[in-house]
DNA sequence: TGTACATCAGTGAACGCGCGTTCACTGATGTAC
DNA sequence: TGTACATCAGTGAACGCGCGTTCACTGATGTAC
């Protein structure tokens, strides 16, 4: 039966939220259209009233994931130190909860093999994240941007390595990266 | 028709080599058993004379990929500087050729979602790579190990971000990470 | 405001397709005598 | 060394399954008068 426009908007938001979570948990190919719709409390057939294809959902879900993650990092203090970002990013909590964590560390490699349009969306998300981290740094605009990129790269790499390895290697990598190279 | 034992060994090596390449190029789920066998010059049916399952091939192929990549990094000089490793890792060549590149930067995220036994194999590969990089560093054994882990994490993260983003973001990230944080 | 009707959000069965895996078969290889 | 036979590497058809997508249908919503 037909739903009201307001109801449709709510369904749409639930689909995107479920996708943003399930894609990060299981991968773009690991979460099916049917599973996303079921998680959103709907049946699979209605999906194409909301998106042209699974690929279109992926784009929207990745934008949502970046927005949510940047907001989560910035939450609380208006101006966090980069040490605070690093502690959050490299925490056991983030290690164990990819579904609400950094989209780069969960989806980057699958995105690499997808069309340019998705990589553009992903790149925009990366820029937003770099901007958020750069705001916590000192130095000239140019220098803090470079520092933020290096900082983010190290955090992403550490999390990818930790999640893909045995527990012992994982905690060695996380703890080695928790302290800045400058203080090594 | 039955092949000789020597011929079977050669087939086995070709299957593993094809898998190590195709998995890095297309992902663990993106390369099928049939494609790997075809690339190795065989038909799909014979696969189970060589491996119990696709999962078993994945383990062997990842070991092979780590070994090949560590060797490629170390090739030439017996004792490269970490700056040389970084230049190689963060090159445009590595960006464009994941199929012969670092297995962490291509397969880490899929490995995260696989059984513990595969993560153990992957972790062992990570340790080998960390060891190779640590050998190029100064300081105490403990300090150079930590430095190697941070170094590898940054390189992996930078490559993951670059490959998943638009070209402009990609080259900004690679160039920002090519110089050490110490010289920033 | 009330009525008649077109629209369309959501349902559930069905589709074609590629996947990992199985299996009967072939015939050269390897072995026992 | 020669012979008879069991083994098994590789082939290609077939399997069950889950996927993304399509479609006929339902009935409340939204709209034109």
- Rounded CA-CA distance A49/A5 in Å is 12
A130 φ, ψ (degrees, to nearest 5): -60, -40
> Do the beta carbons of residue A169 and residue B126 sit within 8 Å?
yes
Q: Residue B184 above 50 pLDDT? A: no
- pLDDT single digits (tens) B109-155: 999 999 999 999 999 999 999 999 999 888 898 899 999 999 999 99
pLDDT at B79: 64
> Would you say A14 and A40 are in contact if contact means Cβ atoms under 8 Å apart?
yes
CA B50 to chain A, closest CA, distance in angstroms equals 26
Within residues 16-75 of protein chain A, the ones with CB less than 7 A from nucleic strand C are 37, 42-46, 49-50
- pLDDT category at B4 given cuts 50, 70, 90 is confident
| D27 closest protein residue (CA to C1') | A1
Which tokens hold the place of A159?
A: 């999390």
**How distant is the Cα of A23 from the closest Cα of chain B, in angstroms?**
12
Average pLDDT over residues B29-58: 98
Judged by a CB distance cut-off of 8 A, whether residue B137 touches chain A is no
What residue has token string 């039966």? A1
Residues sharing a CB contact under 8 Å with residue B17, sequence separation 6 or more, in sequence order: B40, B64
Cβ-based contacts of B155 with chain A (< 8 Å): 153, 157
Overall pTM surpassing 0.85 (yes/no): yes
Confidence of residue B9 (pLDDT cuts 50, 70, 90): very high
The verdict on A113 touching B (C-beta cutoff 8 Å) is yes
User: Chain A, 115-134: which have a CB under 8 Å from a chain B CB?
Assistant: 116, 119-120, 122-123, 126-127
Q: Is B178 on the interface with A (CB under 8 A)?
A: no
DSSP A27-81: -TTTS-HHHHHHHTTS-GGGGGGT-SSHHHHHHHHHHHHHHHHHHHHHSS-SS--
Confirm or reject contact between A147 and chain B (CB < 8 A): yes
pLDDT of residue A78: 54
The pLDDT tens digits along chain A (184 residues) read 788 888 999 999 999 999 999 999 999 999 999 999 999 999 999 999 999 999 999 999 999 999 999 999 887 665 678 888 999 999 999 999 999 999 999 999 999 999 999 999 999 999 999 999 999 888 898 899 999 999 999 999 999 999 999 999 999 999 999 986 554 3
How does pLDDT run across B50-71, given as a tens digit for each residue? Answer: 999 999 999 999 999 999 999 9
Of residues B106, B104, B23, the one with CA closest to residue B57? B23
Collect all residues with Cβ–Cβ distance below 8 Å to A130 and sequence separation of at least 6: A145, A148, A149, A152
DSSP secondary structure letters along B134-181: HTT--S-HHHHHHHHHHHHHHHHHHHHHHHHS-HHHHHHHHHHHHS-G
Per-residue pLDDT, averaged over B5-13, amounts to: 94
Task: Enumerate residues 89 to 108 of chain B having a beta carbon within 8 A of any beta carbon in chain A.
Answer: 98, 104-108
Of B111, B127, B181, the CB nearest to A164: B111
Provide the positions of strand C that have an atom within 7 A of a protein CB.
Answer: 7-14, 18-24, 26-30
pLDDT of residue A184: 35
User: Given CB atoms, is A31 within the 8 Å cutoff of chain B?
Assistant: no
> What residue has its CA nearest to the C1' of C9?
A2
Q: A66-75: b or e for each residue (b if 16 or more CB lie within 10 Å)?
A: bebbbeebbe
Residue with tokens 């940054």: B154
């Amino acid at each position: 039966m037909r739903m009201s426009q307001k109801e449709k908007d709510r369904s749409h938001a639930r689909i995107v939220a479920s996708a943003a979570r399930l894609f990060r948990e299981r991968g773009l190919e690991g979460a099916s259209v049917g599973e996303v719709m079921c998680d959103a409390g709907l049946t699979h057939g209605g999906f194409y009233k909301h998106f042209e294809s699974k690929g279109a959902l992926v784009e929207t879900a990745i934008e949502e994931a970046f927005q949510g993650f940047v907001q989560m990092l910035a939450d609380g203090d208006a101006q966090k130190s980069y040490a605070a970002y690093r502690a959050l990013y490299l925490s056991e909590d983030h290690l164990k909860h990819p579904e609400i964590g950094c989209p780069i560390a969960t989806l980057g490699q699958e995105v690499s093999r997808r069309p340019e349009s998705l990589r553009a969306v992903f790149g925009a998300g990366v820029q937003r994240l770099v901007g958020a981290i750069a705001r916590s740094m000192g130095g000239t605009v140019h220098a803090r941007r470079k520092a933020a990129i290096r900082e983010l790269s190290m955090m992403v790499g550490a999390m990818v390595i930790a999640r893909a390895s045995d527990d012992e290697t994982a905690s060695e990598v996380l703890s080695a990266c928790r302290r800045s190279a400058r203080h090594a």
